[in-house]
A and B are shown apart, each in its own frame.
Chain A
Amino acid sequence: MTALLELRGVTVSFDGFRALNDLNLSLQPGDLRAVIGPNGAGKTTFLDVITGKVRPSEGQVLFRGRSLVGISEHRIARLGIGRKFQTPRVYENLTVRRNLELAVSRRSPFALLFGRLDGSAQDRVQHLLRVVGLDPQAQQLAGGLAHGQKQWLEIAMLLAQDPDLLLVDEPVAGLSDEETDRTGQLLRSLAGDHTVIVIEHDMEFIRNLDSPVTVLHEGHVLCEGAMDTVQKDPRVIEVYLGVDDDHQPQP
């Protein structure tokens, strides 16, 4: 079986500084993968290079065997790659419902002008509003939501887009424990039908995901494996966990 996503020897340098350094990683369809690593390890850059925001100076990024290098962001997104950002990014001057409607719509200007949102798309919006518990806020401007609600709206927007590969950057930062649990359940339930990469600092959350973990350090894969094995790896302890055993979620 060909990998859904494969990075081969990817290097990204910013003025000589290597944010990613000979990164290799491969995901099969349906995988759920957690990515951890200290601040500045290159986790966000890793997503940038997949989604076309930055171009690797060396190496290959393959999606279903097809190279993504040099393809513009919106085309990569249309191939079925969706992304949630580290700080929640929603369209603040649109209502919650309209944020979701943009996410389920077809992307061409003419489709938006002349087409109406069909029944199944409307149902999907309604369903997602309920899934993330924002039904009562549907008509409110997204800018007025609380931080956690914005996180969830963005997750809902990602789901509305219905990508094959979901790249989720720090989904539980600023969420309450209960919300964190529900987010974990949601992501786990997506795996199988979707391929999911989750970046987090919250170790408890990662452990509950119960998925293989990739540890990034200085732009390179330090090690891969189950959470328990990874945590015992002396290299990991040295660079990451050893520093601060009960690592807290990012503020």
Chain B
Amino acid sequence: MLSSSSSGGSLRRWAPWVLIVAASIILPAVLPPFRLNLLGRFLSLGIVALGVDLIWGYTGLLSLGQGIFFALGGYAIGMHLSLNSLEPGQLPEFFGLYGVKELPAFWQPFASPLFTLVALWTIPALVAGVLGYLVFRNRIKGVYFSILTQAALLVFFNFFNGQQRLINGTNGLKTDTARLFGELVGSDAMQRNLFWLTVLLVVAAWLLCRWLTRGRFGDALVAIRDDEPRMRFTGYNPTAYKTLVFTVAGALAGISGALYTVQSGIVSPQYMAVPFSIEMVIWVAVGGRGTLIGAVLGAVLINYARSLISEQLPETWLFVQGALFLLVVTGLPDGLVGWWRQGGLQHLLAMLGRAPRASTYPGLDLDPSVQAEKSSFLSHPPGGEP
């Protein structure tokens, strides 16, 4: 009995992974390029979701501004791709529209691929680190933290929108027609490679988050989430921990934004739109906050559902998303993965009459003496007769 229950437990644990590995092997072979590209984009959103889970699920910091870091990563790669296929002396096309004759100084380092690869996660990490440090040092938390991150998001959104002469404002930067290693970024072959790269980086990001959350460092995050003052009185400085995880989440958002950009062909200030950053939180809530795999699954499933539903019935998606969120908040507080791990599927099947009602000790149902007692109990309930 012991072995069967523990293998049931590990099945519950590993099933999501089996699903993911199988999917990432089979899907590239069977999906048409358009669908595969969608999947790649949504997987890359799984990376920003991992960051949200790290800061919100584990540390209790509900940031509504992760779009800032996501967009910064996207702009870093977007700027590089705008520059890397130019003839010497040429400028990206949009500069001509605004009469800009010389490449702004901050663009120049992005001509280097190496610089860009480092910048696309260090710049968001740095911005997150500084912002986080100032906020956490002043002990801003809870709702105030959420409002503040959203305000910061709006500031960035408006700034990027207004800067036509620097970064093409509202229009953003297009990446599809740029070339990478001599191949068009928008080509099927390149997109397939980017899909694989995304899969690799999702796994890497997951491993990083797992390393951060599994040991005593992760315990400290949970302790800060649950009782920050107590941590202080034990000699821990929560500011250091929060700043660190917020920085890591910023870096993850940057990588996610860069991967998303090259797979959607554009980066624009829309990545810093308020609803998008709120949706990131919804993915994690639906997938299962505090479970890393839940964050990735939530991002992929919700976005895939959105694209399927929007194709059929464009207006209904917002309602579906709202309903899903409400359902999870009220019915599955630990999200889909939490529900799955607690044996939710068995309960559901039992409710539908497909499987024997879950009993805590299956062995009891097989034990004849217990059964005999049960049936005698049922026919003569104690205290049943006066």
Contacts and interface: CB of A to CB of B under 8 A. Distances in A.
Contacts of B236: 74, 102, 107
Contact of A112 (B220, B227, B234): B220
B223 A105 contact: no
A144 to B, nearest CB: 14
A94 B222 CA distance: 8
A73 interface: yes
A109 B240 CA distance: 7
Contact of B233 (A83, A105, A109, A113): A83
Contact of B220 (A53, A92, A102): A102
Given A94-B219, A101-B219, A161 B234 contact: yes
Contacts of B226: 91-93
Interface residues of B, number: 23
Contacts of B229: 53, 73
Contact of B244 (A51, A82, A92, A109): A109
A105 B237 contact: no
A108 B239 CA distance: 11
A101 B234 contact: no
Given A74-B232, A83-B233, A91 B216 contact: no
A10 B233 CA distance: 21
Q: Sort chain A's interface into a size bin.
A: 20 to 34
Contacts of B230: 85, 89, 91
A85 B219 CA distance: 20
B219 A113 contact: no
B223 A91 contact: yes
Nearest to A103: B234
Interface in A91-145: 91-94, 98, 101-103, 105, 107-109, 112-113, 117
B215 interface: yes
Residue of B216, B230, B232, B240 with highest tally of chain A CB at under 10 A = B216
A89 B227 CA distance: 8
Contacts of A85: 230
A204 B219 CA distance: 38
A157 interface: yes
A78 B234 CA distance: 8
Given A73-B229, A89-B230, A91-B223, A105 B240 contact: no
Contact of A105 (B212, B216, B238, B241): B216
Residue of A78, A94, A108 with highest tally of chain B CB at under 10 A = A94
Contact of A77 (B216, B223, B234, B244): B234
A107 B233 contact: no
B216 A117 contact: yes
B222 A91 contact: yes
A169 to B, nearest CB: 11
A91 B227 contact: yes
A93 B226 CA distance: 8
A112 B235 contact: no
Nearest to B235: A77
B219 A102 contact: yes
A112 B215 contact: yes
A98 B238 CA distance: 18
Of all A-B residue pairs in the complex, the 6 with the closest CB atoms, nearest first, are A77-B235, A73-B232, A112-B217, A91-B223, A112-B216, A74-B237
Interface of A: 51, 53, 72-74, 77-78, 82-83, 85, 89, 91-94, 98, 101-103, 105, 107-109, 112-113, 117, 157, 161
27 contacts: A74-B238, A77-B232, A77-B233, A77-B234, A77-B235, A78-B235, A89-B227, A91-B219, A91-B222, A91-B223, A91-B226, A91-B227, A91-B230, A94-B223, A98-B216, A102-B216, A102-B219, A102-B220, A107-B235, A109-B220, A109-B244, A112-B216, A112-B220, A113-B212, A113-B215, A117-B216, A161-B235
